[in-house]
Amino acid sequence: MNYGLYLSAAGAIGAMHRQNVLANNLANVRTAGFKPDEVFLRERLPARIEAPVPGAEAHLLERLGGGGVFAEPTGTRFKPGAIERTGNPLDVALTGSGFFMVRSSGAKGGEAIRYSRDGRFAINSKGELVQAASGMRILDDRQRPIRLDSAAGVRIAPDGVISQGGAAVARIGVAEVADQHQLRKQGDNLFHDEGGAGAVRIAAEARLEVGAIEASAVDPVLELKSLIDAGRAAEANFRMIQYHDTLNDQVINRVARVA
């Protein structure tokens, strides 16, 4: 087996994975509350061929002596996005840490809580406060859906208290997660806890900017530069694959002529 060929293939796979993640970040540059994904590539340490590491079945490169890179699980950069004024009284932006809690139907028919930083809200036909983009129901500080009178005016205070007709009717719940880096994305700009995020508590008081949204935390210039770099890395590895393929062809033809 051509060791260099597999090293270059591993490099190309890693670069293409990085391209996919960066392209998704750029596609969400205008998505409210979006947090960019981050790629982690780990070096595959060289190993002795005559004494392989015991355990699970080794990767092909490990059987060939190690080296190369492989992709780690993608992480999330939880840096805050800029606050953009919209003037919509149902738009709110979290100015501190934490997440809005939303309720979605689980795969087994139950309902599970998901987390989001997208504060673009609306009132659905049932009078429930929902996310405008996903239609998920927003939960209050007791993890209950918020039901409003769609015919009455709605006022949201900076502490999350919702008032109608001068009376407080609910308070938007904000969840504080002990280890937010253990949250996993599930699509629709939502996060779920697989059990590794630690304790989740309801914040005693929300810190909201009303009439505004938190913009995407993606830096388009930085992401575009990184995407170009990843493309060049993939191209370089593809050229090395072609080079090794040419060498293999030459070796086979020369051996055939000698034979």
Question: Average of pLDDT values for 59-70?
Answer: 57
Q: Which two tokens stand for residue 164?
A: 């109608």
User: Tell me: the pLDDT tens digits for 135-181?
Assistant: 999 999 999 999 999 888 899 999 999 999 889 999 999 999 888 88
Cβ pair 194, 184 in contact under 8 A: yes
- Does the structure show a pLDDT above 90 at 42? no
Any idea which of 44-48, 67-71, 235-239 has the lowest mean pLDDT?
A: 44-48
Q: DSSP letter at 72?
A: P
| Predicted local distance difference test score (pLDDT) of residue 8 | 84
- Does the structure show a pLDDT above 50 at 192? yes
- Reduced to 3 states, what is the DSSP secondary structure of residue 233? helix
Residue 14: closest CA among 239, 222, 236, 233: 233
Cβ pair 223, 25 in contact under 8 A: yes
| Predicted local distance difference test score (pLDDT) of residue 173 | 93
Q: CA torsion angle for 108, 110, 115, 121 (degrees, to 10)?
A: 120
| Predicted local distance difference test score (pLDDT) of residue 182 | 85
| Predicted local distance difference test score (pLDDT) of residue 174 | 93
Cβ pair 218, 189 in contact under 8 A: no
| Predicted local distance difference test score (pLDDT) of residue 31 | 95
The predicted model scores a pTM of 0.79
Question: Average of pLDDT values for 4-16?
Answer: 84
